[in-house]
Each structure stands twice: as C-alpha cells, then as structure tokens.
Amino acid sequence: LEIGYGMGGTTAAIAAAMPDSNFLGVEVHTPGVGSLLKLIGEQELRNLRLIQHDAVEVVNHMIAPRSLAGVHVFFPDPWHKARHNKRRLIQPAFVALLASRLAPGGYLHCATDWEDYATQMLDVLGADPSLENTAAGYAPRPSYRPVTKFENRGLKLGHGVWDLVFRLRADA
C-alpha cells in the first residue's frame, strides 16, 4: 500500500521492479491519479491498482486486518507551521490503524525531508507497541525506494532526507 503517491513516478518504479507483488496506491489529488494512470498504461503495469480517496477512510473501511505486506508513506505533507502540525498524517491513531493492517512480518516505511517531521515520526512510530524499529533511529534508504524528483532537488540544496522503517512485532 502506498499512501499519497504524488505524481506516481516512485510508485510506478517500485511496481515495475517487483512484478510478482501487488500494489495499491491511494491519493486524493486528481492530477497525481491521472499521472500515475498514464504511467501504468505506458509501462503496462498489471500489478498496480489505484484508489482516489482519503487514506484514513480507505485503510479503515477497505483494508482487512493483517493483510498488508508493507505500507509506504513517502514525503507526506509536512504541515510545517506549528499550528498545523495536528494535520500531519503520521499521528498515533493512524499509525495504530496501519499497524493493525500489517500482516505478520509486515513493515511501515515513512520518509520525509523535514527534520522536525522526521523527529515526530520517529517518536510516534517508536511509541506504538506493535511496531519495532529496523534500525537504531533512522534507516538508510532501502534500495527499493528510488530517489524522487523533489528529494533530488532538496539533496542538491543540502537538505536532509530521513527514512524510517518499522516492522510489526512478532508478538503483536
């Protein structure tokens, strides 16, 4: 499951690299959905489906418990103004919901280029009792996650990028 795939280039690349795995992308913005639909057609991707809807509602009502091998949340809106932080996607209740949908051994991979959001993500993910960090803090970028257009731009400007990869605990 990929939540908030933007224009879809990363999602298409991951699906193309793993043709034997199935992927579901959830996005609310129409231009991104259209862009990824175009990529699916051009690349003849048969393992990628899309839903244009609110991710919280999709996960809550359309995804069965313990059914997901993995969840990707790459570069969600950072809502960088302090008064808007409550709008951030990675919050305790949503993380608990995502964890409940992970199959045994399933993972939750988040990435951000906003340091304070990375800190919040690490705190929220680390506080969920059903998840365990696969790294001692932030994880190196896994090889399956391509560098995005915006990430590349930020790296050239000297911005950092933080990946967090947590797995469902065996006893969860």
Candidates 25, 91, 7; CA nearest to 63 is 25
Active-site residue, from 77, 116, 128, 163: 77
CA 78, distance to chain mean position in Å, is 13
- More confidently predicted of 51 and 84: 51
Global confidence as pTM: 0.94
Provide CATH code, domain 2-168: 3.40.50.150
Q: Is the pLDDT of residue 83 over 90?
A: no
Q: Is the pLDDT of residue 85 over 70?
A: no
Average pLDDT on 23-36 reads 98
pLDDT digits (tens, 9 = 90+) for 97-152: 999 999 999 999 999 998 999 999 999 999 999 999 999 999 999 999 999 877 88
DSSP 129: T
Annotated domain spans of the chain: 2-168
Q: Any catalytic annotation for residue 163?
A: no
How many angstroms separate the CA atoms of 6 and 156, rounded?
20
Q: Is the pLDDT of residue 94 over 70?
A: yes
- More confidently predicted of 92 and 88: 92
Q: In the prediction, which pLDDT does 86 show?
A: 73
